[in-house]
Every structure is written in structure tokens, then in C-alpha cells.
Amino acid sequence: MPKFVKWVPTPSQYIEPFFELAPVSSSDIIYDLGSGDGRLLIAALEKGGGKCVGIELDPECVNASRETAKNKGLDEKLTFIEGDVMGQNLSDASIILCYILGSASAALRPKFEDELKSGTRVVMESFPVPGWKPAKTKEINGRTFYLYIMPPEKTEDYDSDPPDTAYEYEWFYWP
């Protein structure tokens, strides 16, 4: 899978909606796909989340995240994997957090459908998963957050074989 987007951090005012849609508990295993500096996972731990795993392609982000986790004393509950999401097994997750483009959502949909357990919550910021009907949405300052609960309800236009429209460095959209 190509790198879909340069890292664009989730602004602090957009962190809370993730956890309003998917409240965390100490039994949750929370994954952030494209974890950047780890801010969503640190927030998840501060809200009482259990184990957290960040997956990030950028080695500089991974190293900085690991250092931040160590400095905050969170390195026992927080793991950062340098690698491609498509090469990682997501089946342990009880919550998935994503701030990725729509083409990445489409590319990840079959992986989610294959690997995620029933009841796993997926929260997407700004870009919905094509073909899935959200269980709940939340809008804040013009941004929409989508909650899906596995297995998600499918929309009428669900395509069982989504086109691979993703391409590398699809980040020109971002301001």
C-alpha cells in the first residue's frame, strides 16, 4: 500500500470527538493507524484506555513518539510500530482510530472486514469508509467523525470489490 498522506497532526480540538464516539476503558486495545506523534494514543491512555499501539511509516515520528511515551512513563502501555498498516495484524484491536484520506479508507476496508472482531469500534475523522453506514457521526467545526461497529451495516452502494484508486503521496488535498 502506498503512503497515502504526509503526516498532518490532529489538532487538539479534534481529539475529544474520537473518544466521545468510542469511549475507552482499561480493557481496550487501541490502535491508531498513521499515529504520527502519538497524541491520540496518549489521550486514550489519559482517558483510561488499556494498551495502545501506533502504526506509522515515518521513522522520525516513530522515534519521537517512543521518546515522548518514555518521558511520560507510558512506554509500558504504548507501543509504536514503524511500518505499513497493511503489513500489520489488527485483530487484537478493540478500537481503531484513523485520520486518513478516503482512498486509504477504501483500501483498508477489506482488511478491517477480514481482521477485526465483532464489536470492534472504528472511528474515522473526516473521511468515511465507502460502502459502510456509520453507527453514529459527530460534527465539530465542519469536520465529521464516523463511528463504525464491526461488522458494519453496508450501504446500498456497497461494492464487494472496491476499486484500488489510492496512489502514493495523495496529500495535495491538505491545507
Residue whose C-alpha cell is 464516539: 21
* 101 within domain boundaries: yes
- The domain in which residue 41 lies consists of 12-154
Question: Which residues in the chain show pLDDT less than 70?
Answer: 1-7, 162-175
pLDDT of residue 39: 95
How far apart CA 5 and CA 39 sit, in angstroms, is 17
CATH number at residue 43: 3.40.50.150
pLDDT of residue 48: 97
* 57 within domain boundaries: yes
* 165 within domain boundaries: no
pLDDT of residue 5: 53
* 172 within domain boundaries: no
Q: Report the predicted TM-score, pTM, of the whole model to 2 decimal places.
A: 0.89
* 42 within domain boundaries: yes
CA distances from 130 to 138, 141, 157 (A): 17, 23, 9
* 4 within domain boundaries: no
pLDDT of residue 9: 82
Number of domains within the chain: 1
